Amino acid sequence: MFKLYFHQTPNPMKVALFFEETGLPYELVAVDTLKGEQHTPEYCAINPNAKTPALEDDGKRVFDSTAILMYLSEKTGLLAGQPEDRSEMLSWLLFVASGLGPFSGQSVHFQHKAPEKIPYAINRYLREAQRHYEVLDTHLEGREYMVGDSYSIADISTWGWIDKATFVLGEGGLDNYPNLKRWFASIDSRPAVQKARDIPKGIDFKTDFDDVAARALYPQNFDKNS
């Protein structure tokens, strides 16, 4: 059985949604990143990058949400899109992995989590996040799905971060991106999305962003001896 190491953040939620969409059996292992559980030697043996999600499958490890979605879709043949759309699939998956996700995360960090407000950093990452949203909005004009004519891991991967649009972009969220807003509403209304959202409800994750959480999430910002 697949074992999914999970926290209720955008990247793990993508993989949770894949499992809820497909009905594949899996074991959920909570990793409380605000308590620093991702830094234990046991977890780093599964994901040396000390991030969630990670996956174990019959003695094999897979880490990074994009790698996991690709691995699962290729292994099972589910939500993989059509062979003729392979180049498009790879392009949009990596657009999310290398652009939308990182810039959205940095936009959130400098707006909401950084210990000091740095106007240049806030503007830099917010504007880049907005630019990625504009690319998606243009791409989705006249399209129901991200790639081809069917729902796929490209939609799941994109959904994970667009779900946080208000947090990333601020008040108004998707209002300036009508095609993206329409697409998101369609994906977000799927029954499996609500099932994925319900997963964290039974888990007592830490929610306070205090000094413990800051040190767990951003250990490189602290002196190891402090």
Distance of CA 79 to the CA centre of its chain: 17
The pLDDT of residue 225 is 58
3 state SS of 27: strand
Write the single-letter amino acid at 14.
K
The pLDDT of residue 224 is 66
The stretches in the chain having pLDDT less than 70 are: 223-226
Write the single-letter amino acid at 193.
V
Tens-digit pLDDT profile for residues 80-114: 999 999 999 999 999 999 999 999 999 999 999 99
Write the single-letter amino acid at 1.
M
In this structure, the dihedral spanned by the alpha carbons of residues 222, 220, 125 and 14, taken in order and rounded to 10 degrees, is -120
The pLDDT of residue 220 is 86
172 secondary structure, DSSP code: T
Q: In this structure, are residues 151 and 145 in contact, taking their beta carbons and an 8 Å threshold?
A: yes
Q: Which residues sit opposite 55 in a β-bridge?
A: 4, 62
Q: In this structure, are residues 164 and 124 in contact, taking their beta carbons and an 8 Å threshold?
A: no
What pTM did the predictor assign?
0.95
